[in-house]
Structure 1
């Protein structure tokens, strides 16, 4: 019933969901990949693996791969000689723990060829501390089979051919066009899928006509390498040195300033005439935390790049990585309450524009994203201090001392051609330069350089693209993982003065609640008129506005 109430349910799409990750534990309702082990049982392939563990509260017996995830089995010597270090922050020196100070428990997981591995340490694991575990493992799985499975399954349904009998009973109509979209990890997978050439099937045909990576930032992932860890995501506080955010970042060609290599995500697909149309959709949170500027600038962060003809870029402002429901809620893992912006209706509306683009050659709305050229994309910090174009300081808010910037890392001689990690880097100073969107006088994102949900274009608060880690979770000087913030405006000027808040107050911006509601509805209608929002989503946005009436009391 919930699905049928969605505006997209009326448009006649057939949805296909596929499982592509091997390291997930089996449980009801989960789609998984069952990847084969690479190598032979008598002579297993081995190699050192690295797991980072960080907890938000004092605990022990922690899954090294993350909740519900599996890890690679240690060899006998790897278990004996496992190494564990700890450090408070990314750039702090690693402090090794004696082998007698930590324990690893290893258990089978039903219907899986990977293991559930729990870590315990003397005196328990401390909140926010980065624990780095390295050991020799065996039996890597063929993780890249997840992408070939997507390719082959979609190709089968689209082109049928000699294998049409496998589809009997599904009752499918002929599939004329295909569009792939994925959020976050799945969005990064789609970038890897294209870069690795999987949009050409085994008969040389195009698989997807359109591809929509959501909230992927500048990243790929450990999806197609030896001892892959598909769920690892590089962050500002932890997981920093994994091979996820790699050159090339752009869909067209660009040049790496460190290696001199010229490359682009669509290079292989263009050479085989299988390049799809692209909509890259992200929030302003990805700029602070996921290198979101690099897909549309050069790696040095000094020039905007020209988007290829078949690529659209949409930045949704005033929002964090995960879409909220629009209703503010208390702070938990961050120093600020999380950003409640509901942006998913805009994203899914754009997916329908992708269908119009590939099926009817109807041009989608123009790209909207911040640019260096017009000053809407800027450095986060200047000479060690926050850039006033990126954030105007508020005395009652802690702001970031830096942002996430990926580095070129050395993984050994075999990484570039074989994607085998022989060395685990501990540091790199080869930074790619990432930038952030400029903000207005109230620290909200700009309407001409981002698509603003009506809550952010007619605001009652500052919707930050970042948040700082809460002290109780440790690492409070680091950015909170994939989180934005919410800082409500003062009710009137007297309240603003009392709080030393130089932003506009609600009374400055709106005469009455009815005035606010009218401006809000106008902003919502503008999104619909400009093609960024389906009319069917209007009622959900208006419900959020009506719930804000108490802020005018």
Structure 2
């Protein structure tokens, strides 16, 4: 293998104080940096603006990425498999979701191992920075990529950013909209050369904000000289937006401005490709440093990738663009697990891409480049454009896929388009794909919930526990990739059986829960025109994008049962034996965008505790004590539901007792019932 990277190991130490994880034994953590050299004329898919990046004396482009490994201290005791966690916005997530661990970007202590699942299985957990627009802080993994220029002169272009504030008193926002993300500097501080508007809802008319009512500036503060307060100044800034009167909560503010200095962000895909290929195949790097996974009898037989939300989209983009073939044409990832990606991709391989920005939803960032055909792994024709395409189209190097979405992605992230064609008809998936809808769950389903909360929403957040599905899916993927044992069949709502329906059909069947307002429908997806140059050169020509006539894709949602819980999909024990209605949508509080959905958030709508309370509140759903005789009966129902999932191959035996233990005392960590916890 021709190796074009060099490892620099900064730290190597025992993980979890040397705790032994079953047959895999103790683990160690290795951190450092990988230095890459990219050949603009090399064997890789097109990377936008790579030809405009600075080159060294050999005509190569330098870039570098942070990395972190958790590996068996005795490599021969591992399972020979890489588990690659696409760090979400630079943050390490896998241990949090697969091991039910305390989340940390510095995983080192025993609490960061959680239940030890990945270690007990013998995986080497790998992180590599792939996102090149992040700023340092909070231990994030950073990718350092070059700025593109035109023969040494700055490149400029139009950038559009939306801002929604959910608390009063906000006067300054980074141009990127989010503190961890680099802003594209404004080419001019003259506000008359930019367009700044606000609107009530995504489809509302834009209201211009006068050029004199805002500035490219930031607030600077310091202790006053006399010690009696703080001195404050307004300083010009090419990376901040300042509103003297403050932003109004819930409104959508939109800035369109001329920016400069695009970064070559598509190198993130190349970094992942080359690093994972190196770990799988190379004995040492270009400087002779040994591959740490091949030391002392270590081996790498398979590599799997997992990503959630932003990084689930990144996986789909990586595969679609052809990066799952390395420089020698070998498959990089043998299997991938994109989670809560919905129908989107990353679209980071274009000029002035914004990777940290939330994808298109009903209210937030509705008109983005993220959701463009193809949406599905299966080949189909877009009836609106005539294009024929699929995410999987390279049989020799395509990975096996287990794609999982929650109910929230059907409401917020157009997930129905993963399993339908562009006209809303069921679309069978390739043999190497499984798609599961985690019924009644929400986008961010934390394994560790202290209590139900509302945040900026009108209803309590969805509290359904689903982390057990991650573990079962990984075991299923490994068997599939190793010996060809197929996972359980896909479980998704479908048009054919009436479980995937329009918003109107869904509303007609949803129970009249007291005091609950229903959403208008899922996030629409109009056909958007960003300009033909986006596909040809990676340059967006129209901001905001042009909505093409009245053309849009049908976005469908899961049909509910009599309680309003999703009928189809993989139902977690909490959904099969419910204490409320668990949905994939939630609505903003009146002062924060009344009636609009809270992006990627679901809701928990509690049942009445007793029949008497149900009558008093006019709740059409049976009360808890009309479903279960007591707390012990509820626990028994949870056990039955968990055991049924084990029998179906969708949950591990070890997770049954965890689900049962959580259900004790009416699962109070996730519910609001006031019933006695012990059986009477």
TM-score, normalising length from structure 2?
Answer: 0.76
Which secondary structure state, in structure 2, belongs to the residue aligned with residue 287 of structure 1?
helix
In 2, the alpha carbon distance for the partners of 1:216 and 1:5 equals 26
In 1, the alpha carbon distance for the partners of 2:299 and 2:360 equals 40
Q: Does 1:70 align with 2:190?
A: no
In 2, the alpha carbon distance for the partners of 1:513 and 1:27 equals 45
Q: Does 1:99 align with 2:211?
A: yes
Q: Which residue of 2 is the match for residue 10 of structure 1? A: 120
Q: Which residue of 2 is the match for residue 215 of structure 1? A: 340
Of 538-547 and 449-458, the range deviating more from structure 2 = 538-547
Q: Does 1:192 align with 2:302?
A: no
Larger radius of gyration: 2
Q: Offset of 1:299 from its aligned partner?
A: 1.1
- Greater strand percent: which structure? 2
Match of 2:508 among 388, 395, 413: 388
Q: Does 1:289 align with 2:412?
A: yes
Q: Which residue of 1 is the match for residue 554 of structure 2? A: 433
In 2, the alpha carbon distance for the partners of 1:326 and 1:293 equals 28
Alpha carbons of 1:194 and 1:60: their partners in 2 closer, same or farther (altered >3 Å)? same
In 1, the alpha carbon distance for the partners of 2:659 and 2:554 equals 36
Match of 1:52 among 159, 162, 169: 162
Q: Which residue of 1 is the match for residue 526 of structure 2? A: 407
In 1, the alpha carbon distance for the partners of 2:595 and 2:487 equals 41
Q: Which residue of 2 is the match for residue 241 of structure 1? A: 367
Please list the CA deviations of residues 50-93 of structure 1 after superposition, one character each: whole Å capped at 9, or x if unmatched: 11111001211122321321111111377662221111111111
In 1, the alpha carbon distance for the partners of 2:621 and 2:290 equals 60
Match of 1:25 among 135, 151, 155: 135
Query: Where in structure 2 are the equivalents of 1:360-399 lying within 5 Å?
Result: 360-381=483-504, 387-389=507-509, 391-399=510-518
Please list the CA deviations of residues 338-393 of structure 1 after superposition, one character each: whole Å capped at 9, or x if unmatched: 001111221232122111110122221221111111111111125xxx6324x233
Alpha carbons of 1:202 and 1:296: their partners in 2 closer, same or farther (altered >3 Å)? same
Tell whether the 8 Å contact from 2:308 to 2:339 is kept in structure 1 after alignment: yes
In 1, the alpha carbon distance for the partners of 2:451 and 2:440 equals 13
Q: Offset of 1:104 from its aligned partner?
A: 1.6
Q: Offset of 1:483 from its aligned partner?
A: 0.7
Which secondary structure state, in structure 1, belongs to the residue aligned with residue 480 of structure 2?
helix
Which secondary structure state, in structure 1, belongs to the residue aligned with residue 604 of structure 2?
strand
Tell whether the 8 Å contact from 1:414 to 1:420 is kept in structure 2 after alignment: yes
Cα RMSD for the two superposed structures:
2.0
In 2, the alpha carbon distance for the partners of 1:88 and 1:460 equals 35
In 1, the alpha carbon distance for the partners of 2:147 and 2:190 equals 19
Alpha carbons of 1:100 and 1:365: their partners in 2 closer, same or farther (altered >3 Å)? same
Q: Does 1:530 align with 2:655?
A: no
Tell whether the 8 Å contact from 2:191 to 2:211 is kept in structure 1 after alignment: no
In 2, the alpha carbon distance for the partners of 1:9 and 1:123 equals 53
Which secondary structure state, in structure 2, belongs to the residue aligned with residue 91 of structure 1?
coil
Please list the CA deviations of residues 237-262 of structure 1 after superposition, one character each: whole Å capped at 9, or x if unmatched: 02111100110111011111111111
Match of 1:323 among 445, 448, 460: 445
Which secondary structure state, in structure 2, belongs to the residue aligned with residue 17 of structure 1?
strand
Alpha carbons of 1:184 and 1:150: their partners in 2 closer, same or farther (altered >3 Å)? same
Please list the CA deviations of residues 437-488 of structure 1 after superposition, one character each: whole Å capped at 9, or x if unmatched: 1111011122xx211111111011111111001123x212111111111111
TM-score, normalising length from structure 1?
Answer: 0.93
Which secondary structure state, in structure 1, belongs to the residue aligned with residue 272 of structure 2?
helix
Of 479-488 and 163-172, the range deviating more from structure 2 = 163-172
Gap runs ≥5 in structure 1: 108-114
Q: Which residue of 2 is the match for residue 491 of structure 1? A: 609
Q: Which residue of 2 is the match for residue 277 of structure 1? A: 400
Q: Which residue of 2 is the match for residue 112 of structure 1? A: none
Q: Which residue of 2 is the match for residue 261 of structure 1? A: 387
Tell whether the 8 Å contact from 1:328 to 1:339 is kept in structure 2 after alignment: no
In 1, the alpha carbon distance for the partners of 2:133 and 2:202 equals 26
Q: Which residue of 1 is the match for residue 636 of structure 2? A: 518
Which secondary structure state, in structure 2, belongs to the residue aligned with residue 30 of structure 1?
coil
In 1, the alpha carbon distance for the partners of 2:521 and 2:278 equals 47
Alpha carbons of 1:327 and 1:88: their partners in 2 closer, same or farther (altered >3 Å)? same
Q: Which residue of 2 is the match for residue 471 of structure 1? A: 590
Tell whether the 8 Å contact from 1:327 to 1:340 is kept in structure 2 after alignment: no
Q: Which residue of 1 is the match for residue 15 of structure 2? A: none
In 1, the alpha carbon distance for the partners of 2:465 and 2:292 equals 38
Alpha carbons of 1:4 and 1:460: their partners in 2 closer, same or farther (altered >3 Å)? closer
Alpha carbons of 1:239 and 1:414: their partners in 2 closer, same or farther (altered >3 Å)? same
Please list the CA deviations of residues 270-320 of structure 1 after superposition, one character each: whole Å capped at 9, or x if unmatched: 3xx10110001110110000001001001111x101110100011111210
Q: Which residue of 2 is the match for residue 445 of structure 1? A: 566
In 2, the alpha carbon distance for the partners of 1:527 and 1:495 equals 33
